[in-house]
Amino acid sequence: MSREGAPAKRPAPARAAGTPIWVWLIYILGILAGVIFAVSLLFTFGALVLSDEGTGVSYDVSWLAIVLWGAFVAAALITWLVRRRQRR
């Protein structure tokens, strides 16, 4: 039994507006990783250039850190590119 004027179907739930939180999290981690990577390179380059010892400056590179920070940067870049193509 339907009442007069009542809708036949329930309205579809509205999609959440805006960017999902997981996308913001990936963007933030990617930007943070890029900044850390850039500052580390600049600091190392500055130590090499400004050192009085010339080639006597040594540095230890953590390959795990490079892979981890690089993965965050790559994930942010890929997410940005995929979302940009979806908007077109």
pTM, two decimal places:
0.67
Mean pLDDT confidence for 24-28: 94
Q: Helix 63-87 and helix 21-50: axis angle, to 10°?
A: 130
- Given this model, what pLDDT does residue 35 score? 94
Weakest-pLDDT range from 13-17, 37-41, 47-51, 63-67: 13-17
- Residue 10's identity, in one-letter code, is R
Answer yes or no: is pLDDT of 86 > 80. yes
The answer to whether 83 and 23 have CB atoms below 8 angstroms apart is yes
Arithmetic mean of pLDDT, 73-84 = 94
Average pLDDT, the chain: 83
Residue 86 backbone phi and psi in degrees, to 5: -70, -30
